[in-house]
Structures are given as C-alpha cells and as structure tokens.
Structure 1
C-alpha cells in the first residue's frame, strides 16, 4: 500500500482494504505537528497506522521538518522509533 502526501489537505493518506487511513498535521516553521491518525475501524490492528505514520515521518524528515507528536498514536510510534524524536 502506498502512502501519499496530500499537501492541500495537510495530511498523509493510504488506501486500505476498507477505506482511507490518514495522518493529519500542521506546519509551524520547521516543525510538522502530527495531530490526528485515523484508520478505518475494520482495518484496526493490521499495522496500517504504523505503516502510514512511519512513511509520513520519514517524508517529513526528508523534507527538513522536525517531528512534533501531538496525537497519541504518533507519540507511541516515536517512543518505539527514537530516530524521529526531535525534542
């Protein structure tokens, strides 16, 4: 499954078996603040959110942004992947 950046909507998106998974952010200077992650209910627990957030954070870093996790899922992901902890 491919993750795409929808800059106009300020989110990363991935089509799943049951719909659209999203990771919403807002930019503030050189920081990308991730505020919400959502996966269709039927797809929860299948690793889609981790795949989505991993790709989103990697892209944000590649584009020069510092990661600010403001969503509980992204907070937990960054704890497991300290390479994205920009504090």
Structure 2
C-alpha cells in the first residue's frame, strides 16, 4: 500500500511506493485555514496504477482530519472532488 505524507517544507503531499520510492506529489499553498492545490504529478514509470487517485484521496482525508478546507486549482484535484462527493464539504 502506498504511503501518503504531507511535506510542509516543500508545500506538497507526496506518495511513496511500498519500496520507498517517491512516485509523485501534489503541490499546494497554505492560506489561513485552507490549502490551494496547484498541480498533481505522478512520475513516469508509476503512471497507470491509480497513484494519483490514492495521493489525492490521502491528502483530502488528512485535510479533513485537520479541519482545513481545499481550493482546487489543480484540474486533477478538481475532477476528483467532483467525482467523490464524500469530500464535498472540504471546498473553501
């Protein structure tokens, strides 16, 4: 199972493979009580394994647990939110 972590020093959520390789990330800017997501990238060689979806889901679950909101400027995060209504209340 991939591991998703928040890396505030780099302003991004990261996804790591079971072997510990960085497979991708989703960048954000923190603004008060919300995060503005800008881009989501999965590295070549890791595409096609639904890691982008796992990354965004993990980030949104963490954001919800922390009581924060999301501004989806990243098209992938926006599309994910539109398809997964369980995160509907997270939009700022």
TM-score range, shorter chain: 0.7 to 0.9
Runs of 4+ in 1 over 3 A off after TM superposition: 16-19
Partner of 2:72: 69
Structure 2: gaps (5+ residues):
none
Task: Specify the SS of the correspondent of 1:55.
Answer: helix
What CA distance in whole angstroms lies between the structure 1 residues aligned with 2:11 and 2:23? 15
- Give the TM-score taking structure 2 as reference length: 0.84
Does 2:40 correspond to 1:37? yes
Question: Superposition RMSD on alpha carbons, in Å?
Answer: 1.7
- Give the TM-score taking structure 1 as reference length: 0.88
Structure 1: gaps (5+ residues):
none
